[in-house]
Chain A
Amino acid sequence: MQLSVWTYEGPPHVGAMRVATAMRGVHYLLHAPQGDTYADLLFTMIERRGCRPPVTYTTFQARDLGKDTADLFQRAARDAYARFDPQVMLVGSSCTAELIQDDPAGMAEAMRLPCPVVPLELPSYSRKENWGAGETFYQIVRHLADRDVRPAPHEGRRPLANILGPAALGFRHRDDVREVRGILATLGIEVNCVAPLGGWPADVARVGAADFNIVLYPEIGDSAARWLEREFKQPRTKTIPIGVGATREFITEVAALAGVDPTPALQDGESRMPWWSRSVDSTYLTGKRVFVFGDATHAVAAARVAHEELGFEVVGLGCYNREFARDVRDAAKLYGVEPLITDDHLEVEDAIAAAAPELVLGTQMERHIAKRQGVPCAVISAPVHVQDFPARHSPQMGFEGANVLFDTWVHPLIMGLEEHLLTMFREDFEFSDDAGASHLAAHSPSRHAERVSASSAPRAPAIQEEDWPPEQVRGDDEDTLWTAEAEAELKKIPFFVRGKARRNTESFAAEQGRAAIDLETLYDAKAHYAR
């Protein structure tokens, strides 16, 4: 048994739902108890979908066990077919149904439904959401891809590509697809099929017509793409176009696969990120310590952008999906950090505290951790939150994606010029320490906000910001080591680096075995940590 408070990933059948919901003409019959229907709200509330996910739950109850759960399943299958008229039906079990062993696959087959049925075996007690999504998409492709459909002769037609991997509840998948389509259009490459997102079963059946596959999210698209590579001899892309450098490499890779000239797409006049990063205001970004955590694909990509394109120092890198841990291990070597492969958020919290970063790039989970630790944070990866589905176009991929990364990562950090002003005018009464930078309200842990206890009502509606229970507030009154003089000096240090100065000084003092922290210790520590 694993003790878990918050999880990065749901069970594998939620991954299957992300695929089914993304596609059109697909219905998923899930053998599951009533409580599992909570998963619908992920799609309707977080992603704000205006349709219910195409999922029928059998919602068997205790009184059905041992007599007619199988019957219930078959009735639900018949009803779902009659009502939703799907072109393809996925059938499978959730964790509970897996234990009662009703064999949905066999039952569905025996029923001879008038549409293709794709049985899903998603082991709930060993696998998780991303794996479930990848496996589901792979099974759909395997079952539906028509082996007789192959690329037409090259003469007289444009190159043809599939875009694989985007799904429902993905981090900015909708916008990434638009960016990548734009790149392909510039290169004169046509799109054969985008799946799962927006794809029909008929599109998947014709997947073989494309010359090659573009895999945007390996967590979801890789198994299918590898199978297509083996069975259909379709090559696949390996670069994830997040960041300017990776987008350039992606364009070059795609152009090579298509046999076209990459130049038109490489000269994108809308790519502002390189200049924004070179302009003098960005000088203060140099060497900012950044901790990166997310799914492997987004984490590795973010670390590269942070390091190469913003001049940050990567002080931590990790992912929660073990299946892709190798990529993270390789990348961690580049930055000389220990890779953190874990799905235990408490471990991540400790690692972040130990690394003392100035910026966290993570998931919603890290956003909360960072908030508690008073560190700015930007979200780069699922698991997602309603805020991660902005109304505006806000991709991560392509040149526009890189522009977005610059804005969203740099915004939480204090702006360069403002940083100087704060230091200069710190003593002025208008610049009370507690105020912080004007745009930083959401990120700076003002003492006042921390002390406000949870609202008087013990209940909070779902899908709203958390309130902070008083028991979690960290006090910093227990520092008896500090002399009054040193404490006063510490207060003169700008608030946005004060936490780090305090931590560094304390660990220095502990290392050195000093009994008290006086002015001497403070400045010795500063010298010790000077880079």
Chain B
Amino acid sequence: MKADAFSLPAESGCAAPPEREVLRERGQREVFCGLTGIVWLHRKMQDAFFLVIGSRTCAHLLQSAAGVMIFAEPRFATAIIEERDLAGMADCHEELDRVVDRLIARRPEIRQLFLVGSCPSEVIKLDLGKAAERLGAKHAGQVRILNYSGSGIETTFTEGEDACLASLVPVMPASAPDTAPQLLLVGSLPDIVEDQFLRLFAQLGIENVGVLPARTADGLPAVGPNTRVLLAQPFLGETAQALEARGAQRIDAPFPFGAEGTTAWLKAAAQAFGIDEMHANSVIAPGRERAKRALEHHREKLAGKRISFLPDSQLEVPLARFLATELGMEPVEVGTPYLNRKLVARDLEQLPESTRISEGQDVDRQLDRVRADRPDLTVCGLGLANPLEAEGLSTKWAIELVFSPIHGFEQAGDLAELFARPLRRRDVLQV
């Protein structure tokens, strides 16, 4: 690769103090596209159906990313574009209407339908916005029909969730200007984690709390100038922007991983709502102590170990922060598909100076660096894990970090365990 691989201009509009140097790469990427988010989003939103308008490749990707979670009829499917659809656009829209009508007739329990764009639908410029409008009017009262793109030419892995949530923002009801301040928790979390957080907010005394995405269509929260947005995931840039455009203000905080991350995150929320600090501390303390105790077990195993992240979910920076400051690990390289400096600022600033931050990807060069660095653990995608193991490098599947409950105090120990297990296994095996 030539020097021009690094020639992308630096991000503008960010007036932060001395910018951390970032290695920007542009070559082959080895990441999922945004369609993958459907695998967890459809479990979270229990009356939603995700209809991808794409190719056999898209259907195969979803199936492969979902492993063999073969349900009789999951709440997602692909309308596979065929040769005859490519002949004319009118045809394509008619076909889509036919598929959607049948789907809605067959699945009367569905309350929201997402038409999800793919690379093929975008390249042929199939206007899914228009289709959603047309079909939404037709099925008004029964099903809310929205659209977003999960295509690989637009979105990387978790950006699919961002696009999906952003598509919900325009249909969120407006909160009255004189209502009490509302906290909006944004990002899909496993129900069990979400409920833990909601209990903590209640104990803190924050009463008016909305969640995006809501579990059902009619639970969609309101938004307005009194809304304070607390992101649970770092990859929700577009959603955050859309919410800000509706008057909401984002609470700046590190992400809620581990004892410290979760503490700072909750405290930022408490502060935004003017909660008395003593009270906040007393609410937070028990969980924080439990998390610290849980981490203690793993600290011994993980402290001093070197770790590299290959770009995957945009969770890399907050997770590296957690591993560095709470478990004493040494992040060697932290790769991320896209570095949203604003959203991850509070985590980024805590990473050691020595950590190399890279954005984008050139997978072969990146693997060269991993081989040269020889970290104790490499966090990477499923396509790369076994090949690296075969070279004697321990790995952790990145996708598990997206599929497992890892946020908050009660999951801090589990999160550390995800990193400790591969190392322990390496020590245990004698074959």
Contact = CB atoms under 8 A, between A and B. Distances in A.
A41 B82 contact: no
B79 to A, nearest CB: 4
B251 interface: no
Given A33-B151, A60-B153, A466-B70, A7 B85 contact: no
Interface stretch (A93-101, A106-114, A147-155, A517-525): A93-101
B208 interface: no
Contact of A94 (B53, B57, B403): B57
A14 interface: yes
B79 A37 contact: no
B338 to A, nearest CB: 11
A530 interface: no
A2 B32 CA distance: 23
B68 A41 contact: no
Nearest to B149: A62
Given A2-B79, A57-B28, A459-B190, A38 B61 contact: yes
B349 interface: no
A41 B382 contact: yes
A11 B79 CA distance: 14
B386 A472 contact: no
Contacts of A48: 386
A129 to B, nearest CB: 8
Contact of B390 (A50, A94, A99): A50
B332 to A, nearest CB: 21
Contacts of A126: 82-83
A472 B72 contact: yes
A50 B389 contact: yes
Contacts of B30: 34, 37, 40, 57
Contact of A462 (B79, B153, B382): B382
A465 interface: yes
B64 to A, nearest CB: 5
A100 B39 CA distance: 28
A456 B32 contact: no
B1 A62 contact: no
Interface residues of B, number: 82
B370 interface: no
A6 B67 contact: no
A40 B99 contact: no
A42 interface: yes
A44 B383 contact: yes
Nearest to A53: B383
A398 to B, nearest CB: 29
A486 interface: no
- The binding surface of chain B is classed by DSSP as helix
Interface string B394-425: 00010110111100000000000000000000
Contacts of A43: 383
Contacts of B31: 34-35, 37
B68 A35 contact: no
Nearest to B401: A461
Interface stretch (B118-126, B235-243, B260-268, B322-330): B118-126
Interface stretch (A305-313, A364-372, A415-423): A364-372
B245 interface: no
A34 B29 contact: yes
A83 interface: yes
A497 interface: no
Contacts of A346: 73
Given A125-B83, A459-B403, A38 B383 contact: yes
B383 A52 contact: yes
Contacts of B383: 37-38, 40-41, 43-45, 52
A347 interface: no
A457 interface: yes
B55 A368 contact: no
Interface string A59-97: 111100100000000001001000100000000001110
Contact of A62 (B99, B120, B154, B404): B154
A83 B390 contact: no
Interface string B110-138: 00000000011011100000000000000
Contacts of B78: 3-5
B152 A34 contact: yes
B384 to A, nearest CB: 7
Interface string B245-283: 000000000000000000000000000000000000000
B153 A36 contact: no
A469 interface: yes
B63 interface: yes
A427 interface: no
A391 to B, nearest CB: 12
Contacts of A321: none
Nearest to A371: B70
A461 B397 contact: yes
Contact of A456 (B70, B96, B190): B190
Interface string A4-41: 11110111011000000000000000000111111111
Interface of A: 1-7, 9-11, 13-14, 33-45, 48-52, 56-62, 65, 76, 79, 83, 94-96, 99-100, 123-126, 128, 346, 349, 364-365, 368, 372, 385, 456-469, 472
* 4 smallest beta-carbon distances between A and B, as pairs: A35-B33, A40-B383, A35-B152, A50-B390
11 contacts: A14-B57, A34-B153, A36-B61, A42-B64, A49-B387, A100-B123, A457-B192, A462-B65, A462-B67, A462-B403, A468-B71
